[in-house]
Structure 1
Amino acid sequence: MIRKSPQLDSPLRNFDVRLSPTPRGARLARLMAAEQLRFWGLPLDPAEYIVAELAANAVTHGRVPGRDFGLLLYVIGDTLRIEVTDTRGDRMPSLRQPTEDAASGRGLLLVDALADRWGVFEGLRPRKTVWAEVRLAPEPGNPCSGATGGLFPARTEVKGPHQAPPLPPADQTHSGE
């Protein structure tokens, strides 16, 4: 089921979809997120990459046959929040450096580099949600990168623990502050 905000000028916009826990479902999550961001008039970079990584993780590590995963995008003020919910609450993600010859294991490192904040929280058993937030406007006094058209702050800081987001409480949070 897809829900779109009826008003483009509304300060609150949301998009919610359930997809099959397959590689095709992960690809559809990325494509549908990109289309929704275009519809809202928002930049695709870096949100499209974050959705792709979180959806790929959901179908790779959070897959339970016959149970869909969910993608939720919403904008409040100048922040885009991306949430991907899967049905493997017993498998919590962790941020760790893969070996140089590893074929996978870099998805959350990419999310960590691209998102302003991200984290994970347990939902109703057996679910978990991995979320990421992207600011849509630079903070005052923070230089912008030309690579993203000047919309996102430069990413040179080291990320560390940060307070939980306002919606919903997170067990683990990463922030660029």
Structure 2
Amino acid sequence: MKAEISTPATVLTQRLSATPRGARLARRLTALQLTAWGHPYDSEVNRTAQQLVAELAANAVTHGRVPGRDFELRLLLLPEGTLRIEVSDARGDRQLRFVNEPEGESGRGLILVSLLALTWGVAERGVGKTVWAELALKEPEQ
């Protein structure tokens, strides 16, 4: 498993298996990368980024999974002090699910994303879709 890191460590791109294990690994990679970017594991920014990735990756492996296809995690440090999180899957269906029933067991992930992120959305890509979220970064802790 080799991560693509480009232009002075401002982008991390990693393809992961569309399985629960791949989703857990996406969260762990996020924690490690944010730590490398100066936002320690136990900081609020790191924890929030991990939660956003956990929700988006869980959706990718649960609802966006296409047998035999991976999902992709991409973290980008934007110049204006923003972290952009992108999770791409191979399913082209852009219809996202929210809670329909108060007693339902799923559908709350995107509500969490909308509460935690500055902004978020979904975009088409060559194969499948990308769900993205942006998070304001505070100054890195020394």
Q: Same fold (TM over 0.5)?
A: yes
Counterpart CA distance in 2 for 1:110 and 1:22 is 21
Whether 2:22 is the aligned partner of 1:25: answer yes
| Greater Rg over alpha carbons, structure | 1
Bigger fraction of residues in helix? 2
Aligned to 2:115: 113
Identity %, equivalent residues: 54
Counterpart CA distance in 1 for 2:100 and 2:115 is 15
Segments of 4+ in structure 1 off by > 4 A?
A: none
- CA-to-aligned-CA distance 1:82-137 (integer Å, 9 cap, x gap): 0000000124324x33322111110000000000000001111x310000001114
Q: TM-score, normalised by structure 1?
A: 0.70
Q: Cα distance, 1:65 vs. partner?
A: 1.0
Q: Cα distance, 1:6 vs. partner?
A: 6.5
Pick from 51, 57, 60: which aligns with 1:58? 60
The change in CA–CA distance for 1:68 and 1:120 in structure 2 (over 3 A counts) is: same
Counterpart CA distance in 2 for 1:29 and 1:6 is 21
| Aligned pairs (5 A) from 1:34-45 | 34-42=31-39, 43-45=45-47
3-state secondary structure, aligned to 1:67: coil
Q: Cα distance, 1:57 vs. partner?
A: 0.2
Counterpart CA distance in 1 for 2:135 and 2:7 is 23
3-state secondary structure, aligned to 2:46: coil
3-state secondary structure, aligned to 1:45: helix
Checking the alignment, whether the CA contact within 8 Å between 2:69 and 2:90 is kept in structure 1 is yes
Aligned to 2:42: none
Aligned to 2:11: 14
Pick from 67, 75, 78: which aligns with 1:76? 78
Higher RCO (CA-CA < 8 Å; seq separation 6+)? 2
For structure 1, the residue ranges without an aligned partner over 5 or more in a row are 139-177
Checking the alignment, whether the CA contact within 8 Å between 1:98 and 1:104 is kept in structure 2 is no
The change in CA–CA distance for 1:7 and 1:123 in structure 2 (over 3 A counts) is: closer
For structure 2, the residue ranges without an aligned partner over 5 or more in a row are 40-44
One-letter amino acid of the structure 2 residue matched with residue 89 of structure 1: G
3-state secondary structure, aligned to 2:47: coil
Checking the alignment, whether the CA contact within 8 Å between 2:53 and 2:85 is kept in structure 1 is yes
Checking the alignment, whether the CA contact within 8 Å between 2:94 and 2:122 is kept in structure 1 is no
